[in-house]
Chains A and B, each alone.
Chain A
Amino acid sequence: MLKLQLKGAVALALLCFLNYQTEAQAILNKVKSAAKNKAANAIFGDNDAPSTPSVSEGDERSGRPMNNTSGGLITTPPDVGKSIATAESSFSAKKYGEARYALQQAIVGIEMEMGNKVMESLPEKVAGIDFVKESDKVTSTGMAFVGLTIFREYYNDDKAIDITVANNSSLLMSANMYLTNPAYTSGQENIKSVTVQGFKGVLEFSEYDGYKLSVPLGQTSIAIMKMVNFADETAALKVSDAFDLAGIQKQLGDKIN
């Protein structure tokens, strides 16, 4: 009788334990499922999700919301005409600080137009590689030593090319220094002077970055092209032929001689 009672108690305990395990497993599965859904929503988006801001996974203690609804900055360049008018009225009123700021804004507006025109003239495909539209960038600060820059890149799984055109920029100084001082280029095995489309330039090679071709386009402009994974110098220089350097120079209003 005692044995029978003992067996019953063990069976009851085992049943309770199994039940507990089943419940625990169910809870665990629910948590896992919720986590999976949350991760999937985060990656692929969820139209049915509530519009309240999500909470950072790694910052749940503070409950600080992640930025996921802001619209970003307005990228419209400053209005040139309005900026010039503001500069005129500020100068007449002897508000020189405001006049200067307005003039700088007008210059930014003009440089952005110049940059966008150069960008439009760049090829969409180079050496069979498409450009990456999201990477297109025109930058102007209205400040002399920073100037205007235009950037476009092309890449696939194997090769990469990018071009930076800079106008009124300090980037021009280093290339001009090499060009005006031949000792710089002849004494270094990874740098040499080249001529591309009638422009004098400097070609550099680095084991990690590949080829870099810097071509000054007149007094204040320069085009810098980088070519990654091109077989040799000839192949790298051939890439540069895809860019109309004289056209870029003309658009930037620069002169060589």
Chain B
Amino acid sequence: MKKIYLLALIVTVFGLTASAQNDFTASTATAKNEYKAGNLEEARFALQQSLAEVDKEIGKEILGILPKSIAGFSFVEANDNVSGNSSSFGGLFVHRDYGDTTKSVAIDLMDNSPMLAGINSLLAMPMIMNSSDGSQKVVKVSGYKALLQRKDATQAVGGYTLQIPFNQSLFTLDFDGAFTESEVTSAANAMPISEVAKLTY
């Protein structure tokens, strides 16, 4: 019985990998043909499809190195999501959820994100960003500057959002529930940010 499961798993993994390879190969071949024929817009569209396939592969590698649990919560495998957007507003998108209905953590990675410019300019002004009501401040996570925001400033313990920009990417950790700031930062520091940055570079 175990052998059958193993065989099914191998076939599935191989099938998915082969499918990605086929999609990439097909769209790249289309791009070459259209370019030779002088159909520039068609060639570009086909290359954007190829780019989306590459992004998906990068996304799968990122999901592979993200931890299986955060702050004692296991990840929800069914919610794992990777997409390579070939059109406007964002290329690679990776999503993973941890936790349950009372406390949860969501990880989102957006690559080629137009939101990056805003975050980066805010991080360059830490005096402005460290608000007096304690709702937001600039912190360092694994050596990267990050913007930490408390969702409800009136509560001592609540949800947090941590945004870490690097390269052309925005890595966001969204903590929902009764988390403390130290729990948030220690969980964030357990993230393989540097490895993710290398994969998206």
Contact = CB atoms under 8 A, between A and B. Distances in A.
B31 A106 contact: yes
Interface string B80-93: 00000111111100
A213 interface: no
B89 A145 contact: yes
Interface string A128-171: 00000000000000011101000000000000000000001010
Nearest to B88: A144
Given A84-B47, A253-B41, A220 B28 contact: no
B32 A144 contact: no
B200 A110 contact: no
Interface stretch (A31-39, A53-61, A91-99, A226-234): A91-99
Contacts of A111: 44
Q: Which of B55, B61, B88, B199 has the most CB of A within 10 A?
A: B88
Contact of B54 (A100, A143, A147, A168): A100
B42 A107 contact: no
B112 A145 contact: yes
Contacts of A104: 51
Query: Interface residues of B: mostly helix, strand, loop or mixed?
Result: helix
A152 to B, nearest CB: 20
Contact of A100 (B28, B45, B51): B51
Interface in B2-37: 21, 24-25, 28, 31-32, 35
Interface string B143-179: 0000000000000000000000000100000000000
A244 interface: no
A103 B51 contact: yes
A91 B54 contact: yes
Contacts of A253: 39-42, 45
Interface in B51-66: 51, 54-55, 57-58, 61
A121 B167 CA distance: 37
Contact of B114 (A103, A117, A145): A145
Given A100-B58, A113-B40, A170-B114, A107 B88 contact: no
A194 interface: no
B54 A103 contact: yes
A147 B43 CA distance: 15
B104 interface: no
Interface residues of A, number: 30
Contact of A252 (B41, B47, B58): B41
A103 B89 CA distance: 17
A127 interface: no
Given A100-B58, A111-B44, A253-B42, A143 B51 contact: no
A100 B41 contact: no
A114 B40 contact: yes
Given A84-B35, A107-B47, 20 more contacts: A80-B35, A80-B43, A97-B200, A100-B55, A100-B58, A103-B50, A104-B51, A106-B31, A107-B51, A110-B43, A110-B44, A110-B47, A114-B41, A143-B112, A144-B89, A145-B114, A147-B88, A168-B88, A220-B88, A254-B41
Interface of A: 80-81, 84, 87-88, 91, 94, 96-97, 99-100, 103-104, 106-107, 110-111, 113-114, 117, 143-145, 147, 168, 170, 220, 252-254
17 contacts: A80-B35, A87-B28, A91-B21, A94-B57, A97-B198, A100-B55, A103-B47, A103-B50, A107-B48, A144-B91, A145-B112, A145-B114, A170-B114, A253-B39, A253-B41, A253-B42, A254-B41
The 9 closest A-B pairs by CB, nearest first: A253-B41, A144-B88, A96-B58, A103-B51, A100-B54, A110-B44, A145-B114, A114-B40, A99-B54
